[in-house]
Amino acid sequence: MLDAITKMTLRGVKRAIKSQDWWEKRIQHSSHNTALLARRVPIDMSLPGVESIEPSREFTKKAKWHKARKLTSVGLALSIVLVLTFGGLIFSENYIKLHKVFRATASADSLSKTKLLSGQSSGRINVLLLGRDGGRSVQPDITNTIILASIDVVNNNITFISVPGTIWVKNNSGVMYLNQAFEKGENQYLGGGAIGTTNSKAIEAGFQLADSSVSNILGTAINYNVIINFQAVQQLVNTLGGITLNVPTALSDPTMAWQNKGNPVLAPAGTDTLNGNQALLYLMSKATTSESSREQRQAQILKAVFKKIMSSSTLINPLKISQIISTLGNNLASDLSMTQAIKLYQLVTPINSNSINSLSLLSSGQYLTTGNMVGQPILLPVSGLFNYSSIHSYIATQLPNPYLVKENAGILILNSTTTPGLATALGNKLSSKGFNVIGVANTPTTGGFKYTTLYIITGGNSHTQGFLEKDLKVKLSNKKLNKTISPDGANFVIIIGNNEANNS
């Protein structure tokens, strides 16, 4: 069914583009044909008897969005925003017809010739998802939800990494809480007064500062960004008719009872269906639970929404699609273009809700600890302020190279020198990078190898071979492994030579 939706989506996009003859001519005669955006047509898609969604301050000046170089609305909401991309909802024919949001696509053919997405050649695309309060607080641009969505497009899975906003970071704008980085980036571009801005370059500057800060913590690149206002979550869940959650322990928060008809129990224990308001409270409550618990609830809501969106009853319902588009249209921004978003949709449609994993830097207590800075509580690495080395090692093990995972080629490492521990050390290094090290040992005799040598035992693992050659800085030997050495079922054998012993 998803393949049919993909084809329908691409056909709809192509037809919509072909019908815009005036637009194509305008692009062809523009010296900026790679950066031009169509004006969004404001359309009220509210149902009879239902109030129209009031645009938030961040996105009320729609006319300014046509000037954006990279920013365009795509279907992502907090983590839920990315889920909409997975479902392909926002790229349906309805979206094209109703919103007329086009990047500079001069012909339908260009859609089928879209270049690889950033990160796609490595097998992993990382999208930073930011959630902000919008009009709900006096600091509407503070991003209290920060999640890295790492999409393995080779093995069809996603890992969501929740990053606490109270980590103390250092970046180009100084030192601050991580959740202040986006707003600081906007302010730095505008010279102040970023609240409520629709300036696309300012928003891009906010993305850049948030990216550099999160990348510094996690040790991984970020390819794209999405920011969403929290009120969209409530509206989206209502549009979907609620979401079903298995609540392990009743969530009670007296400070939010006034928002829950006076009831301090936001979600009772057991299987429960939450409406939009309940889901939002379940997401945001933190007075009686830890930040780690809140991050787990975010991941739980994400999976529930993903499952609901991917159901056939949602995917084939044009009215639902229109409502979702209307809900999110005024509440999000991204640096994904329309054609990039379509390409992302094609890559992630094979992913199902059982292939979503979630991680939190707070859950184990091994990587972050509490501290104090300028009289305020902060989080900092256990290894010391601004020292993220242990976090980098942990994230590297959780986001292994997708091609290595797919091939899963066994590697045996043998030490031919008299220096003990070299095979174990190399094995640990390669394992942390995602290689499948099946054993380490010594060669039957020592001193027989001047240089570290790589042997192939069975073929068909070209990616593993290439990464090993690059990492070890050696070429594959054109000789066969000596018969006195057993490969023990490995696909590759690495024999450590005296050159490594001399360098140790």
Tell me if residue 183 falls in helix, strand or coil.
Answer: helix
At 308 the pLDDT is: 76
Q: What is the pLDDT of residues 134-161, one digit of tens each?
A: 655 556 678 888 999 999 999 999 999 9
Q: Hey, what CATH class is 402-503 in?
A: alpha beta
At 465 the pLDDT is: 94
185 neighbors 207 (Cβ within 8 angstroms) = yes
Q: What is the mean pLDDT of residues 244-261?
A: 87
Q: What is the pLDDT of residues 357-390, one digit of tens each?
A: 888 888 767 899 999 998 889 999 999 999 999 9
Q: What is the pLDDT of residues 277-296, one digit of tens each?
A: 888 888 878 777 777 777 77
> Where in the sequence of the chain do the CATH 3.30.70.2390 domains occur?
402-503
At 234 the pLDDT is: 83
At 280 the pLDDT is: 85
User: Which of 337, 87, 98 minimizes the C-alpha distance to 236?
Assistant: 87
Out of 3.30.420.590, 2.60.40.420, 3.90.650.10, 3.40.920.10, the CATH code matching 1-229+332-399 is 3.30.420.590
432 neighbors 393 (Cβ within 8 angstroms) = yes
Rounded to the nearest integer, the mean pLDDT of the chain is 76
Can you tell me the distance from the alpha carbon of 90 to that of 86, in angstroms, rounded to the nearest whole number? Answer: 10
* Confidence bin at 217 (pLDDT 50/70/90): very high
At 306 the pLDDT is: 72
Pairing mode, if any, of strands 143-152 and 157-162?
antiparallel
Can you tell me the distance from the alpha carbon of 59 to that of 135, in angstroms, rounded to the nearest whole number? Answer: 11
> Where in the sequence of the chain do the CATH 3.30.420.590 domains occur?
1-229+332-399
At 119 the pLDDT is: 93
- Beta-bridge partner residues of 369: 380
* Residues in contact with 500: Cβ distance below 8 Å, sequence separation at least 6, in sequence order: 417, 419, 422, 426, 452
pTM for the model: 0.74
Q: What is the mean pLDDT of residues 63-71?
A: 40
